[in-house]
Structure 1
Amino acid sequence: MEGLPKFSDLPLNKGDPHHSAWGLYGKGDQLGFLNRLTDDVVLEAAKEIKTGVRISLNWPLDAQKDIPFFGRQVFHQHMYNKPPRVVNDDVWTFNSQSSSQWDGLRHFAYQKEAKFYNGVTMDDIHAEGSVVNGIGAWSEKGIVGRGVLLDFHSWRLENNIPYEPFKTGSIPLEQLKAVAEAQGVKIKFGDILIIRSGKAYGYMAAFSELKKDEIAALAKVMPPTFSGVEQSEEVLEWIWNNFSAVAGDQPSFECWPTQKDFMLHEVLLAGWGCPIGELFDLEALSEHCKKAGRWSFFITSEVCNVPGGVASPPNILAIF
């Protein structure tokens, strides 16, 4: 993208946290990397629509049943009738991150500096009436563009590479690039990166096959241990140079807990304003990509319009 600072130029301002790009889109910006999804980028992405096939990437809101990880609240539906009319209403209560989700800019700060995107503080966020960095700002135009699936799971099976979703482990950048090369994917600036870690060994598939006592035991492990994308300068540079958002089927996108002295969440969310999608359902998507012989598609995701919201179900479709 013309005018994009080099990764080596980060942080943009002396004294700001490492790798941060605060002020790139203005001091009061709340869109971050979504500024990369210009009208021209979205118009070009719309050329991916050729057959009209639509595939949801949303897990059910109650996907983690009654024992979600990270101590998050379970989904609950209260349905009631309204006599004397033959009418039903229902009330939903749930944690916005207990199923498929976009992490918003209020979710994760630079831990040492205690600063969110563009230097916003915890006091700023919790001030009465504050909506700064709220995910509702993303709802105006949504997260819409060209999606690219890197089917790491299929590639690793072909190459006899082990993967255990409930153990701390990293997916190296060199392997993700090898997946893209094997699929013949050409990444374009502004793409929405989606990584499939597995089916037989993928997180939600593995989760659904566990017994309740096994899930309860895993949920008690603090911090939780999950496999995911490696923490490295190279991964950060790759994302900086190419993508508008990143997502996967893992609970934390990145390896958890971190294996370095920083977390991708810090830089992506607090440093750049880059949305992180987690727990996406990628099984039907991967099957269609293989059948169609293409791993790029149009993405439309409308986050919930909650002013000051921390995260949101993605309400996401891939369209071919």
Structure 2
Amino acid sequence: MTRWTKRPEGSTWGDFGESDQLGRVNLLGPEQILKGVREVRDGQAFCLSLPLDLPGGMVLNPRRKPPRLSGTERDGVPYMNFAMETLDASAIDVLSDDQVLMSLQYSTQWDSLAHVGAQFDADDNGTPRKVYYNGYAAGTDVLDAPHADDHADCCGSGGHAMGALKLGIENFAVKGMQGRGVLVDFTRHYGRERKLIGYNELAAILKSDGITVERGDMLVLRTGFAELITEMAGQPDPDVLHNACSVLDGTDEKLLQWITDSGIAAICADNYAVEAYPARDRPGKKSLLPLHHHCLFKLGLPLAELWYLKDLAQALHASGRNRFLLTAPPLRLPGAVGSPVTPIATI
């Protein structure tokens, strides 16, 4: 192993091979797909994506801008309702052709394993450095963004490329991200109360609702947060959002150990960040996003945020079920560290 001498305690680095870029997504093989397919009984499909212009504004994350649509252009002319007779007098065609500028993690999304790394002493020499899952290195495997005055193309042919040469979101796209989803409905138990969910709370709900989570399943968490966003109709109230709905407690070591032991392949939630941010304070050097650190950095377990789960949850509850076929490939965009996604649940 050339990228690291020491791996983080409790991590899966190297377990899926020296060159692995999928982590626990490796568990989404034929067996898991067939498990998901066997959950299809009614032939109903549910879109689990918000409209990608929600939440609206930038109050959830001041770095992430909402999508901006525009027409593609030729010679300065936007091609929206463009009469092709301009090019050929005999043409009757009218052409509309558009493009979008957006933050890839603005709305319903996947995090890739290049989304969150850590300062870690991977060389076991007393000097931490920036690394990601399986020891992939910042600056070498995940390239820095160019400064504005560099005038470089992102992941393109400019003087300074940028992006994840390793661990990019395209790896999940090729894998397909299809298997069995298991829904845990916090909303049914806690409503929209701001509730910090640790292992004890999760275990109590699994028991009371008769939910069994097995190795390779994708855990899907409904908190009601995305439903609150849709009701705000593009005008999100940060004071309400930051104090509403259940959220995982990333500082709960028993919860993190359960995630490790359960063998789940992914966590998909309808809220922002999946875990409470900022996390509860702890002494010493620490991660501000301990669940992200545990899942993305140590286990290679992807996280998904801002999924819309109300309709699916109601249909599953009505039939006394909690499992379904989940199909959720991200964009096959080489080098990206996150991606919009339109997940489909089939029951």
Instruction: Kindly provide the amino acid, as one letter, of the partner of residue 108 in structure 1.
Output: V
1:163 partnered with 2:193: yes
Q: Which residue among 32, 37, 40 is the counterpart of 1:46?
A: 37
Deviation string 1:47-105 (CA, Å, 9 cap, x unpaired) is 11111111111111101223352211111111423322311111111111110111101
Deviation at 1:214, TM superposition (A): 4.1
Deviation at 1:19, TM superposition (A): 2.7
1:246 partnered with 2:267: yes
In structure 1, the gaps of 5 or more residues are: 1-12
Contact 1:228 1:256 in 2 (8 A): no
- Whole-Å Cα distance in 1 between the matches of residues 235 and 342 of structure 2? 28
Deviation string 1:252-271 (CA, Å, 9 cap, x unpaired) is 10111111444110121111
Contact 1:204 1:279 in 2 (8 A): no
Q: Which residue among 143, 149, 158 is the counterpart of 2:177?
A: 143
Q: 1:10 maps to what in 2?
A: none
Q: 1:126 maps to what in 2?
A: 143
Given the two structures, how large is their TM-score scaled by the length of structure 2?
Answer: 0.77
Deviation at 1:170, TM superposition (A): 1.9
Deviation string 1:211-244 (CA, Å, 9 cap, x unpaired) is 95844x789x9xx999620122211221122200
- Whole-Å Cα distance in 2 between the matches of residues 210 and 21 of structure 1? 41
What is the DSSP-based 3-state SS (H/G/I as helix, E as strand, rest coil) of the residue aligned with 1:138?
Answer: helix
Structure 1 stretches of 4+ with a deviation exceeding 6 A read none
- Percent of residue pairs identical: 28
Contact 2:105 2:340 in 1 (8 A): yes
Deviation string 1:267-309 (CA, Å, 9 cap, x unpaired) is 2111111110111101111111111211111101111001111
Say which is worse superposed, 206-215 or 109-118, in terms of deviation. Answer: 206-215
In structure 2, the gaps of 5 or more residues are: 72-79, 85-92, 121-127, 145-160
Aligned length: 293
**Which one has the bigger helix percentage?**
1
Q: 2:106 maps to what in 1?
A: 98
Q: Which residue among 291, 305, 308 is the counterpart of 1:264?
A: 291
- Whole-Å Cα distance in 1 between the matches of residues 203 and 119 of structure 2? 30
- Whole-Å Cα distance in 2 between the matches of residues 153 and 111 of structure 1? 36
- Whole-Å Cα distance in 1 between the matches of residues 183 and 235 of structure 2? 31
RMSD of aligned alpha carbons: 2.6
- The 1:283/1:24 distance shift into structure 2, 3 A limit, reads same
1:230 partnered with 2:249: yes
What is the DSSP-based 3-state SS (H/G/I as helix, E as strand, rest coil) of the residue aligned with 1:63?
Answer: coil
- Whole-Å Cα distance in 2 between the matches of residues 267 and 210 of structure 1? 34
Q: Which residue among 168, 180, 186 is the counterpart of 1:152?
A: 186
Say which is worse superposed, 75-84 or 299-308, in terms of deviation. Answer: 75-84
- Whole-Å Cα distance in 2 between the matches of residues 298 and 218 of structure 1? 33
- Whole-Å Cα distance in 2 between the matches of residues 211 and 66 of structure 1? 7
Instruction: Kindly provide the amino acid, as one letter, of the partner of residue 190 in structure 1.
Output: G
Q: 1:303 maps to what in 2?
A: 330
Deviation at 1:182, TM superposition (A): 2.0
Deviation at 1:176, TM superposition (A): 1.5
